[in-house]
């Protein structure tokens, strides 16, 4: 049965539901309905799984409650819009942003949607998400984007989260410039999204550091000029060697642990930029006793998705191949199997997995 | 006897000489002579003492060796220039920058004079300094500045170090904007220089934090809208109260210890800028587990003095009263007494002390 | 009779109505009612007259049709809001922006509200305006601003148009920096708003050029360091003299005729910025045969009012005295007399006139 | 005979000498000698001819006097350095910048070398230039650049002028961003240098306009996404069609006549940037009566070559193929023939010609 079968309050759908640490199920849930005049209901066409979903399943985010539908990425088709929605209508193909933006608050007016007073990252977190047949999107006019007819849909899904995250938190905050030397620490999907979008600014040197040789090999195919397996090589020494002992102009942390942040701080050149992308669970030690005089900049950021229109143009004009981050395809119904693959990413050589609805 | 009395190698002068931790003397030293064609010899007219000089005297900077003449600030008159100096001539009144810039290396060409490959902060550190009757200035064309006839000379001395330090490391790096809320932690001379130059950008709120009520009272007269004595008040709570629980747009650290850095990190608003000015001797704990998602920027900087021409214009046009930081005047010959006053700054209510040569 | 007397469709109010070139009347019109869920109805408390209103009355803007209520500035109290308005409620004191912003289109999302696809400058232009007892404000959530209780209401009215126009089109686009030399051509209300807000960035020299000695005298009291009456003095020569033949770092055109633009182009220093604020009716001759190699920047802009929140903070914290631009006060009912005064600004020594409603 | 044969004042060399409008000769001239301690003498290895040289030969630059050696581009080997030169020594391979920078004046300290008070564009203009066996380079430390051993020398020659001109005046001033639409008017060597370096920032659309089909075909191979022959197509209409009637984000003028500037102004989108690169001989009409409200920016610039170190990195790392602009190679002795080819560029399908010394 689907939402098309009858009035909304009678309908049900399938969804990936969180039931506390370690527990999830693909099960029946009521089809979402409009709650506010600014809402839209989107029938999911494609979605994906994020590393953050695994963190939720580990219990790292206690604000996520039992019964929550996970997922904050995807594309779909508008099923219904609230009375205040003016930009979208039933039948429109849309990209869902991982960040909901009310468009009115002080933060949204500044382009800092991540800190929207009513939105921010709420999908699949504080409200039900996109790993389902239908999803309710609040503030639809300012949280959805039209998809051009000719676009590669798999690539477009990467615009929900991973490409803007890599670009905004890593590349823009890192201020990558033509001719720069850049080190990216972490070759997971987000680190690789940094790698792809860093090339928008034509750095001369793009060094990728990870502990997984497969991911480093992928990084090579996606534009890394050098790769370092930090389990087998002294990464600090190697980065210094590759930069003639100057250090890098930009260091981008895409893991989220103290050791990788330390690496960035150890190799940054005077005047350089350290851009933190990773989600950290612990404090790091910042060596101000040496860094105070080195004219460096350190940034943090939760993705705002304020660059989604710009990134959409780069994807549609084939300036970046978002689909190159996708390693596995599943039917949406097979999402439990997709989770299994994604949870064993190293074994499966998995980066992003795409789930496509049958309808 | 002075340099004018005969050939350089016979001449001597008086100078403040470092003789290892805790030891200094106002004693006779050879008058400096030209060593490179880009050098100038400057007869010191006014100089001052910096907190860094006290650090050297404590032995905190082991690279400073016995016999070194201290001091990196001052104004004077050109006595002699090397053959490659084209911008200055004997008799010119000049400001001495605390940073020597060769003008040729990659860093100098980028405006990052602090990291000049041959210069940077070397005066009164790696070469003899300005607390003397004469000083040799390397790279004179790019390390000295003409002083307009009408300028207040005491105010101009503040352009050697303290005003550019406060402005570049604090205000520019902190990106102070009209209407902003700004907290400055530390109301010593450098913190007060931040306070003065922050007003170039018309913030709405300027909160000064210190543990010395006298300095806070001075801060009030220099433009602070609020002051907090962090020994008697919970500074974090008070800053949050003053900013309607939003935190400040800018937080400027002007002390150099973990507690003051922590304060900045605790009160910074999402999207805000923490500018470190203080000289740190230990690492700090950076709470990335909360800050990772708050879109903040942290900067460090050794002053470049690249804004000296801009600041000169603001001082000469009376847009900032550099002399307001000066509390005590001494004859240059009385520099030992001046050090005593400066070393007991709280007791003496001392900020900057000015030493003026008799000649 | 007022809107409070009965159902909206029966109500009438008084308003200043345009009836074709040269004709206007203070007459009865239906009280506006909500048309869209994003609308608000505001009871006008204070409004003012803009030079643009005079242009409309001359017939220079043929898109303004007979029957249009003029006015695009003012403050008031919310009378009623549409169902989609979430930021304001009946009774709120609000500032009306001269620019209506939908908050959703590509331009609004970039902060370029002037080019909003459904809004922009429409008030008192393409829809009825604020010189009336009531006004309908479209896109209320993103076109109105809360007024703090303690604010000077006269000063706040200046935030509708004149302060953001001077600041955005003149000061921000001109990139005024501490220590700069700035020439402002035109000492009418907008030029004086440039003068006030330029001081947010502490230029060293602020030269005001006009042909009206009274306005130049006002400019002196508002912060101009020099004034030039270009009818009695060779303005180009005098600006060059005041800048030691370097020209000015910034030149701001606030009149809107070729001669004043030419003056800006004639005095701009290499590397300088010419910011056009004036509304032009004719082309100008741009001397690229000399300017091509002078590294200059020329900007144009219709005010976006994107800085209104920032400017509100500067007004509320008394960093700028918006009310200093106001020379005359009238009751709203006396608006015909106020127009007469404003139309004879030189004779009346009028800058901004404030109209206050009796209710 | 060469400079190595004996004392400088006895030596002679061959050089391309200007003898008034229409007249030039490859003839014997004294080999240059050091005049200032900051000079270097460079033995030319490769040089090229610039469109500006043709302008000089037409008599368009009357400040160029009879007897002047032309040329402001090239690479070579240091023959001798003055006593104040510290960065280079005999035998070093160097790139000669078309702009001489003293490194000391206010403009040089700001990175605006084009307006250096003693330098700027003087080579082959106000002092003898590079179309010779030897050239004297003033301010050598700040006007020459080391060439890495592995670099493609032909490509490096393009760094003397054409690549920094296209990049600084066109791409940087135009503020090209990822995803942008860009129109470049003029597909001569400079316009093509804009095309190459615009790609550093990954625009989505790169439209090239010219009247020469061969150059447009070259533009296609160098990255243009669309080309327009403005003699056979209505260029304004076509650019608007290609941009869905929005106009382009950036318009770059690389010809230097009113018609091409007009085209840029006609197609620029609201909020867009017009970057003038061309050398103009006449004023243009600027339609402020429409542009005043369109939030546009117009820039002019004489190349500063301040980005040469950055561009050097992009060339050496093969991020841009400077040699792709070179169509013809000649021996330096055959420079008269090379001029003939370059003067008939359309007939010869010539872009840049490279002249290589035999020694």
Q: Enumerate the β-bridge partners of residue C205.
A: C181
How close C313 gets to chain B, by Cα (Å)?
5
* Host H or E run for residue D181: strand D181-185
Give pLDDT tens digits for A164-223.
Answer: 999 999 999 999 999 999 999 999 999 999 999 999 999 999 999 999 999 999 999 999
- Under an 8 A CB cutoff, do D38 and B84 touch? yes
pLDDT value, residue C10? 58
Q: Give start and end residues of each alpha helix (H) in chain D.
A: 51-58, 106-109, 153-157, 162-164, 173-174, 189-198, 213-221, 235-242, 258-267, 288-291, 308-316, 335-343, 345-348
Residue C344's Cβ-count burial label (10 Å; 0-12, 13-18, 19+) is: exposed
Q: Which residues in chain C are closer than 8 Å to A104, comparing Cβ atoms?
A: 86-87, 103, 141-142
- Under an 8 A CB cutoff, do D283 and C288 touch? yes
| DSSP 8-state symbol, C194 | H
Cross-chain CB nearest to B319 (options C200, C204, C320):
C204
- Under an 8 A CB cutoff, do D298 and C295 touch? no
Residue indicated by tokens 């201020």: A175
pLDDT value, residue A5? 46
Contact call for residues B272 and B251 (beta carbons, < 8 A): yes
Please give the Cα distance from A56 to A64 (Å, whole number).
7
Contact call for residues D85 and D48 (beta carbons, < 8 A): no
Contact call for residues A312 and D180 (beta carbons, < 8 A): no
Contact call for residues A296 and B112 (beta carbons, < 8 A): no
Structure tokens at C24: 């206007």
| DSSP 8-state symbol, D86 | -
Residue indicated by tokens 């053959």: B83
pLDDT value, residue D148? 95
Contact call for residues B136 and B129 (beta carbons, < 8 A): no
Cross-chain CB nearest to D313 (options A179, A201, A225):
A179
SS3 C155: helix
> What average pLDDT does the segment A6-31 reach?
88
Cross-chain CB nearest to D104 (options B111, B141, B309):
B141
Q: Which residues in chain B are closer than 8 Å to A286, comparing Cβ atoms?
A: 283-286
Please give the Cα distance from A345 to A333 (Å, whole number).
20
Residue A10's pLDDT band (boundaries 50, 70, 90)? low
Q: Which of C256, C277, C300 to mutate to test the interface with D (most CBs of D within 10 A)?
A: C300
Q: Which residues in chain D are closer than 8 Å to A310, comparing Cβ atoms?
A: 177-179
Query: Is it the case that residue D90 has pLDDT exceeding 70?
Result: yes
pLDDT value, residue D109? 96
Give pLDDT tens digits for C39-75.
Answer: 999 999 999 999 999 999 999 999 999 999 999 999 9
Phi, psi of C78 (to 5 degrees): -65, 130
Q: Which of B167, B179, B206, B316 to mutate to test the interface with C (most CBs of C within 10 A)?
A: B179
- Under an 8 A CB cutoff, do B110 and A271 touch? yes
How close D151 gets to chain C, by Cα (Å)?
31
How close B200 gets to chain D, by Cα (Å)?
20
Q: Enumerate the β-bridge partners of residue B18.
A: B24
Structure tokens at D230: 């403005």
Averaged confidence pLDDT in chain A: 96
Q: Which of A313, A314, A316, A319 to mutate to test the interface with D (most CBs of D within 10 A)?
A: A313
Closest CA to B29 of B122, B136, B160: B136
Q: Which residues in chain C are closer than 8 Å to A142, comparing Cβ atoms?
A: 103-104, 109
Q: Which residues in chain A are closer than 8 Å to B271, comparing Cβ atoms?
A: 107, 110, 112, 115
Residue D160's pLDDT band (boundaries 50, 70, 90)? very high
Cross-chain CB nearest to A103 (options C83, C103, C309):
C103
Averaged confidence pLDDT in chain D: 96
pTM, rounded to two decimals: 0.96
Q: Which residues in chain A are closer than 8 Å to D199, comparing Cβ atoms?
A: 202
Instruction: List residues of chain B with CB under 8 Å from any CB of chain A.
Output: 107, 110, 112, 114-115, 256, 261, 270-271, 276, 278-289, 291-302, 304
Give pLDDT tens digits for C106-121.
Answer: 999 999 999 999 999 9
- Under an 8 A CB cutoff, do C179 and B313 touch? yes
How close D84 gets to chain B, by Cα (Å)?
6
Cα B232 vs. chain centroid, distance in angstroms?
A: 29
Characterize C213-226 residue by residue with b for buried, 16 or more Cβ atoms within 10 angstroms of its Cβ, and e for exposed: ebbbebbeebbbbb
Give pLDDT tens digits for D173-195.
Answer: 999 999 999 999 999 999 999 99
- Under an 8 A CB cutoff, do C270 and D107 touch? yes
pLDDT value, residue A274? 98
How close A181 gets to chain D, by Cα (Å)?
10
pLDDT value, residue D174? 98
CATH of domain B163-299: 3.40.50.720
| DSSP 8-state symbol, D117 | S
- Under an 8 A CB cutoff, do B38 and D141 touch? no
Q: Is the dihedral of CA C290, C296, C297, C298 positive or negative?
A: negative
Q: Which residues in chain B are closer than 8 Å to D81, comparing Cβ atoms?
A: none
Contact call for residues B197 and C201 (beta carbons, < 8 A): no
- Under an 8 A CB cutoff, do C317 and B205 touch? yes
Q: Which of B251, B261, B288 to mutate to test the interface with A (most CBs of A within 10 A)?
A: B288
- Under an 8 A CB cutoff, do D112 and C271 touch? yes
- Under an 8 A CB cutoff, do C83 and A87 touch? no
Residues of chain C under the 70 pLDDT cut: 1-10
- Under an 8 A CB cutoff, do B103 and D142 touch? yes
Q: Which of A149, A178, A182, A198 to mutate to test the interface with D (most CBs of D within 10 A)?
A: A178
- Under an 8 A CB cutoff, do C106 and A141 touch? no
How close D335 gets to chain B, by Cα (Å)?
34
Q: Which residues in chain C are closer than 8 Å to B180, comparing Cβ atoms?
A: 313
Please give the Cα distance from A83 to A36 (Å, whole number).
8
Nearest chain C residue to B308 by CA distance is: C179
Q: Which residues in chain B are closer than 8 Å to A280, comparing Cβ atoms?
A: 288-289, 292
How close B219 gets to chain A, by Cα (Å)?
25
Please give the Cα distance from D150 to B178 (Å, whole number).
50
Please give the Cα distance from D173 to D184 (Å, whole number).
13
- Under an 8 A CB cutoff, do D204 and A177 touch? no
Please give the Cα distance from B319 to B302 (Å, whole number).
24
CA angle B270, B275, B277 (to 5 degrees): 160
How close D295 gets to chain C, by Cα (Å)?
4
Give pLDDT tens digits for D246-276.
Answer: 999 999 999 999 999 999 999 999 999 999 9
ipTM of the complex: 0.96
SS3 C281: coil
* Residues contacting A227, CB < 8 A, separation 6+: A187, A207, A208, A209, A210, A216, A217, A219, A220
Residue indicated by tokens 């197609």: D267
The three-state (H, E, C) secondary structure of chain B, written as one string: CCHHHCCHHHCEEEEEEECCCCCEEEEEEECCCCCCCCCEEEEEEEEECCHHHHHHHHCCCCCCCCCCECCCCEEEEEEEECCCCCCCCCCCEEEECCCECCCCCHHHHCCCHHHCCCCECCECCCECCCCECEEEECCHHHCEEECCCCCCHHHHHCCCCHHHHHHHHHHHHHCCCCCCEEEEECCCHHHHHHHHHHHHHCCCEEEEEECCHHHHHHHHHCCCCEEEECCCCCHHHHHHHHCCCCCEEEEEECCCCHHHHHHHHHHEEEEEEEEECCCCCCCEEECHHHHCCCCCEEECCCCCCCCHHHHHHHHHCCCCCHHHHEEEEEEHHHHHHHHHHHHCHHHHCCCEEEEECCC
pLDDT value, residue C4? 46
Cα C162 vs. chain centroid, distance in angstroms?
A: 3
Closest CA to B207 of B243, B245, B233: B243
pLDDT value, residue B214? 97
Give pLDDT tens digits for D314-329.
Answer: 999 999 999 999 999 9
Query: Is it the case that residue A336 has pLDDT exceeding 70?
Result: yes
How close C279 gets to chain A, by Cα (Å)?
27
Q: Which residues in chain B are closer than 8 Å to D38, comparing Cβ atoms?
A: 84
Cross-chain CB nearest to B84 (options D84, D87, D109):
D84
* Residues contacting B133, CB < 8 A, separation 6+: B2, B3, B13, B14, B15, B31, B43, B44, B332, B357, B359
Cross-chain CB nearest to B314 (options C178, C313, C319):
C178
What's the fold here for domain B12-160+305-356?
Quinone Oxidoreductase; Chain A, domain 1 (3.90.180)
How close A231 gets to chain C, by Cα (Å)?
44
Give pLDDT tens digits for A57-108.
Answer: 999 999 999 999 999 999 999 999 999 999 999 999 999 999 999 999 999 9
Q: Which residues in chain D are closer than 8 Å to C279, comparing Cβ atoms?
A: 292-293
Please give the Cα distance from D184 to D226 (Å, whole number).
10
Query: Is it the case that residue A230 has pLDDT exceeding 50?
Result: yes
* Residue ranges covered by each domain of chain C: 12-160+305-356, 163-299
Q: Which residues in chain D are closer than 8 Å to B104, comparing Cβ atoms?
A: 86-87, 103, 141-142
Closest CA to B159 of B93, B203, B215, B64: B93
- Under an 8 A CB cutoff, do C297 and D298 touch? yes
pLDDT per position in chain B (359 positions), as tens?
344 444 444 599 999 999 999 999 999 999 999 999 999 999 999 999 999 999 999 999 999 999 999 999 999 999 999 999 999 999 999 999 999 999 999 999 999 999 999 999 999 999 999 999 999 999 999 999 999 998 999 999 999 999 999 999 999 999 999 999 999 999 999 999 999 999 999 999 999 999 999 999 999 999 999 999 999 999 999 999 999 999 999 999 999 999 999 999 999 999 999 999 999 999 999 999 999 999 999 999 999 999 999 999 999 999 999 999 999 999 999 999 999 999 999 999 999 999 999 87
pLDDT value, residue D6? 44
Nearest chain A residue to B299 by CA distance is: A297
Please give the Cα distance from B28 to B23 (Å, whole number).
15
Residue D157's pLDDT band (boundaries 50, 70, 90)? very high
pLDDT value, residue A8? 47
pLDDT value, residue B148? 95
């Amino acid at each position: 049965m689907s939402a098309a079968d009858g009035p909304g309050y009678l309908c049900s759908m399938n969804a990936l539901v969180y039931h506390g640490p370690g527990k999830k199920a693909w099960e029946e849930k009521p089809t979402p309905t409009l709650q506010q005049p600014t809402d839209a209901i989107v029938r999911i066409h494609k979605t994906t799984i994020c590393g953050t979903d695994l963190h939720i399943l580990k219990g790292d985010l206690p604000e996520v409650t039992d019964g929550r539908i996970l997922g904050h990425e995807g594309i779909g088709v508008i099923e219904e819009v609230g009375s205040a929605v003016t930009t979208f209508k039933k039948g429109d193909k849309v990209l869902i942003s991982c960040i909901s933006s009310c468009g009115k608050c002080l933060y949204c007016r500044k382009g800092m949607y991540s800190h929207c007073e009513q939105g921010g990252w709420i999908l699949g977190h504080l409200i039900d998400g996109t790993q389902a047949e239908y999803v309710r999107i609040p503030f639809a006019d300012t949280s959805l984007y039209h998809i051009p007819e000719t676009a590669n849909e798999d690539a477009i899904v990467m615009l929900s989260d991973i490409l803007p995250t890599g670009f905004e938190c890593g590349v823009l905050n890192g201020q990558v410039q033509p001719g720069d030397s850049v080190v990216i620490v972490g070759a997971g999907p987000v680190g690789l999204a940094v790698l792809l979008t860093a090339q928008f600014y034509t750095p001369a040197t793009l060094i990728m550091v990870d502990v997984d040789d497969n991911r480093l090999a992928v990084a090579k195919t996606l534009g890394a000029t050098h790769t370092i397996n930090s389990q087998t090589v002294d990464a600090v020494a190697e980065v210094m060697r590759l930069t003639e002992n100057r250090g890098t102009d930009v260091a981008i942390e895409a893991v989220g642990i103290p050791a990788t942040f330390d690496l960035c701080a150890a190799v940054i050149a005077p005047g350089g930029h350290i851009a933190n992308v990773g989600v950290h669970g612990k404090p790091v030690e910042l060596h101000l006793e040496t860094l105070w005089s080195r004219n460096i900049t350190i940034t943090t950021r939760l993705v705002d998705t304020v660059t989604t229109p710009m990134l959409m143009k780069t994807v549609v004009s084939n300036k970046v191949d978002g689909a190159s981050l996708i390693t596995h395809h599943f039917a949406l119904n097979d999402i439990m199997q997709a989770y299994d693959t994604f949870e064993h990413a190293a074994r499966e050589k998995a980066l992003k997995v795409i789930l496509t609805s049958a309808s």
